[in-house]
Chains A and B, each alone.
Chain A
Amino acid sequence: MSNVNNLRISAERGQREVFCGLTGIIWLHRKIQDAFFLVVGSRTCAHLIQSAAGVMIFAEPRFATAIIDERDLAGLADANEELDRVVTQLLARRPDIKLLFLVGSCPSEVIKLDLSRAALRLSGRFSPQVRVLNYSGSGIETTFTQGEDACLASLVPSLPVTPPDASPNLLVVGSLADVVEDQMRILLNDMGITDVQFFPPRRSTELSPIGANTRFLLAQPFLADTARALEERGAKHLPAPFPLGAEGTLGWLKAAAGAWHIDDARFRLATQPAYERALRTLGRYRDQLAGKRVFFFPDSQLEIPLARFLANEMSMELVEVGTPFLHRSHLAAELASLPAGTSVVEGQHVENQLDRCFAASPDLVVCGLGLANPLEARGLTTKWSIELVFTPIQGFNQAADLAELFARPLVRRTRLVA
């Protein structure tokens, strides 16, 4: 137990009820529209992705699994040949693919199949039509959203270099819904920041150049490796809260304004209307949420900023905030804004955590899909955390949508009489 900013921060170990990093493919393949994700793994990996996606929306999606079988385990040389064969077969089927990610899994890591060498080899063969990169989404190395971190970090070396005398540019880092990107771009432009790029881009051919002139804002709290890789390329991180809720979004934009020395009047002119509109719409949900006690199970690393939003803007009470990892420097502004005494738990021992949850009997539990129905059956009200990753929740115009996601299960419970 440590005590930072008067928070009660502890860590625990045990069974973790979380997804692995492969799950990120579900949104990443929609975000980068000419990329294909080939998991090199087992039948479990293939089953995970199709089950986590919940529905089979895409008849032929831009992801697949090269399922390792016994023969591949017998000899790694053959496994490499097999991988080349599968990639050739895949690219022949999908000539529209410009960027192929070989995604490592638990079994490929354990048998030490070197996907970085495979990616180099295959890039040599298929460039310039297709670039082949690799990252690991394995459960032994990544938890859920860390898969996006690993993916983006693998893409950083491909970013072009800006000329030494280039004027400052702003890179927004982390997958955001297209609608959110567009809104953020308009706000930043209105403030006077015109050279704004997003990473990952919608197409792999639109990679933003970076260099010492680049300042970047993290749009997601789970991008430790990506941020480090960008810093190694000379880009500078702008510390900020995350753009969740009206205050979070304002603080996030303010960090960019500060770096560009934009005066207060201009900042207010650009942001005030959207900020005030967000405050007005949030008011409606504050009535439903204020005073309610919320318990977070660890899932996406979004927990800390979400808890800050619910406590500060919705007047909710935080019973426990679980998070798979706590990146203290990226979350510094968030941790500083949490109410004193908040219990933050890093890691997981799911059984002990369930015991604490039942004992506390919170009004709302934010948890994964494996736990939600069992908790509902015990009389608790839950919000599936995965929806918070798949829904546009960032920015002023989405602040109320975010609040509504938490209010809906509570409203539903009051409506159902039978």
Chain B
Amino acid sequence: MQLTVWTYEGPPHVGAMRIATAMQGVHYVLHAPQGDTYADLLFTMIERLPRRPPVTYTTFQARDLGGDTAGLFQQAAADAFERFKPQAMLVGASCTAELIQDDPGGLARALKLPIPVVPLELPSYQKKENWGAAETFYQLVRTLCAKDAPPPGFKRPAREPGSRACCNVLGPAALGFRHRDDIKAISQILEQLEVDINVIAPLGASPADLARLGEADFNVVMYPEIGFQAAQWLGRTFDQPAVKTIPIGLGATREFIQEVAMLAGTDAAAALAGTPSHSGWYSHSVDSTYLTGKRVFVFGDATHAVAAARIAAEELGFTVVGLGTYSREFARDVREAAKKYGVEPLITDDYLAVEAQVAELQPELVLGTQMERHIAKRLGVPCAVISAPVHVQDFPARYSPQMGFEGANVIFDTWVHPLMMGLEEHLLTMFRGDFEFHDAAPASHLGSNAVTAKAAPAPVAQAMSKPATVGTTWAPEAEKELGKIPFFVRGKARRNTERFAADRSVELITVETLYDAKAHYSR
């Protein structure tokens, strides 16, 4: 049993719903108790879809448990087929139905429906939402592509000279973080590279489209959390290579273009040169020098977290002080990236552990999910959202991709906006005691509701004022001097000074000790 306050991911059947809802002509019959229909509102309220998710729930109750829940499932599947006339059906169980072991797959098979029926085995007590989405997509792809699959050991023949390459784009789903906009960004790049798109899936694809996946020359995997498993199978079965780079950020977008161009045998020059990007220049402009070395904490799904850390370090000149993910399936990628930035990776789905680390590291910017937005708000640290789990705010009305050159522009704006602007930060440092420009004053462009140092909660305040070593005390003048240091680095200054004092057996920290420590730790 795990004590859970908030969860980053839903159960695996919600992942399956994200696939079914993304597609056309697929219906999911879910053996589930009354109440599990809450999942519909994720799609209709958070993503604001104008239609119900294509899901039929058996919604059994206690009185059904003594009777024929299997019959209830079969009736629901038969009725759903009759009413919705899908081209393919997914069948499975949610956590409670898994316990009563009615075998939805077998029951649905017995109906002998004239369409492909894909039984889903999604172990609810082990796995989570993204795994469920990946598994569902993979099972659908396998089932629908199987009849056209070549014999094992198939080698893809070379393309006819002069013909355009074509690829599949895999991974975008319902309830994804900017998936709709990323598809447009990716499609534009592929168009510039003169690569045709065979199928984009699951978002917008029909079962008939999935059956054509084998026709492409290669696959672009936009979101490995959802598309990697299917892409691996397609790679083995149809000898389709997969593009490894995720084009989030300027550098990654350039590498993506080169990787696609190589696979497609086209010229990358036009795509690389022809797209104006403001973010690269803005980051080089003098106004951005205030971004230098800002301490950022990054947490999200593996793909977005790794991409964000790279952008932070290489394209904005930040210092990555923490990096983590809730995607255990892709923890290895995050561990590798963490090594690059010299930080200890945080692999957890425990929201409280993430909060503790943010409080401990005291970053100047948090790049995380909606959960970290709340943590940052409590701790009074600026924050930008980079990853699912999604919130209604993560479906902006305007075009707002994360991928490609436009994605890099969006990211530059989104991350820099919550920070104090250049000269303003200097003024704050110069006039620390100013009645308007004090620690608690928010950045002027953020308005009066912006987070302030006063919002910092008691636990952190305690953590900050607790002496690092018993026997070390602060002289009143030193304490006062400490108060002149901007709030977002004050905790760090305090800890460094205390460590410095403890290492030297200094019992009373004076103003001199404070500045000695500052000199010692300065880079």
Interfacial residues, chain A to chain B (CB-CB below 8 A)? 15-23, 40, 42-44, 46-48, 50-52, 54-56, 59-61, 64-70, 72-73, 79, 82-83, 85-86, 89-90, 106-107, 109-111, 138-141, 143, 351, 368-374, 376-377
Contact = CB atoms under 8 A, between A and B. Distances in A.
Interface residues of B, number: 61
A138 B42 CA distance: 20
A143 B4 contact: no
B1 A370 contact: no
B1 A56 contact: no
Nearest to B37: A17
Given A43-B95, A67-B4, A73-B125, A370 B378 contact: no
Dominant secondary structure of chain A at its interface with chain B: helix
B125 A68 contact: yes
B198 interface: no
Contacts of A59: 374-375, 377-378, 457
19 contacts: A16-B34, A20-B33, A20-B35, A43-B128, A46-B4, A47-B10, A48-B36, A56-B370, A59-B375, A64-B3, A72-B125, A107-B99, A110-B100, A111-B99, A138-B33, A140-B64, A143-B34, A372-B44, A374-B52
Interface stretch (B53-61, B242-250, B496-504): B53-61
A67 B7 CA distance: 10
A89 B38 CA distance: 29
B45 interface: yes
Given A66-B1, A106-B96, A19 B38 contact: yes
B44 A370 contact: yes
Contacts of A139: 33-36, 59, 61, 96
- Which of B34, B64, B125, B370 lies at the interface centre, i.e. has the most chain A CB atoms within 10 A of its CB? B34
A369 B374 contact: no
B371 interface: yes
Interface in B121-158: 123-126, 128
Interface string B319-355: 0000000000000000000000000000000001000
Contact of B1 (A22, A83, A109, A374): A83
A50 B59 contact: no
A288 B1 CA distance: 53
Contacts of A90: 3
B281 interface: no
Contact of B126 (A70, A85, A110, A370): A70
Contacts of B120: none
Contacts of B42: 51
B1 A44 contact: no
B125 A140 contact: no
B44 A69 contact: no
Nearest to A137: B35
A345 B50 CA distance: 26
A175 B371 CA distance: 29
Contacts of B435: none
B11 A42 contact: yes
Nearest to B14: A47
Contact of A140 (B1, B7, B60, B79): B60
A69 B76 CA distance: 29
Contact of B7 (A17, A50, A371): A50
Given A16-B59, A373-B49, A56 B34 contact: no
The 9 closest A-B pairs by CB, nearest first: A20-B35, A139-B35, A370-B40, A377-B50, A106-B96, A42-B95, A369-B41, A82-B1, A47-B10
A141 B62 CA distance: 6
B94 interface: yes
B65 interface: yes
Contacts of B65: 110, 140
B41 A370 contact: yes
Given A20-B35, A61-B5, 4 more contacts: A69-B126, A141-B62, A370-B44, A373-B49
A43 B34 contact: no
Contacts of A374: 44, 49-52
Nearest to B38: A48
A140 B61 contact: yes
B4 A44 contact: no
Contacts of B34: 16, 18, 20, 139-140, 143
A373 B41 CA distance: 9
B58 A52 contact: no
- Which of A50, A109, A139, A374 lies at the interface centre, i.e. has the most chain B CB atoms within 10 A of its CB? A139
Contacts of A54: 45
Contacts of B61: 139-141
B77 to A, nearest CB: 12
A353 B94 CA distance: 24
Contact of B41 (A51, A61, A67, A351): A51
Contacts of B33: 20, 106, 138-140
B110 to A, nearest CB: 21
Nearest to A21: B35
B14 A370 contact: no
Given A56-B6, A60-B5, A370-B52, A44 B36 contact: yes
A273 to B, nearest CB: 39
A106 B38 CA distance: 14
A140 B62 CA distance: 5
B2 interface: yes
A141 B1 CA distance: 23
Contacts of B56: 15
Contacts of A15: 37, 56-59, 76
Given A73-B125, A79-B1, A56 B374 contact: yes
Nearest to A84: B1
Interface in B54-102: 56-62, 64-65, 76, 79, 83, 94-96, 99-100
B48 interface: yes
Contacts of B391: 55
A43 B124 contact: yes
A323 to B, nearest CB: 15
- Which of B1, B13, B371 lies at the interface centre, i.e. has the most chain A CB atoms within 10 A of its CB? B1
A83 B1 CA distance: 7
A85 B11 CA distance: 23
A408 to B, nearest CB: 17
Contacts of A370: 37-38, 40-41, 44-45, 52
Contacts of B45: 54, 369-370, 372-373
Interface string B240-264: 0000000000000000000000000
A18 B35 contact: yes
B62 to A, nearest CB: 4
- Which of A48, A73, A83, A86 lies at the interface centre, i.e. has the most chain B CB atoms within 10 A of its CB? A48
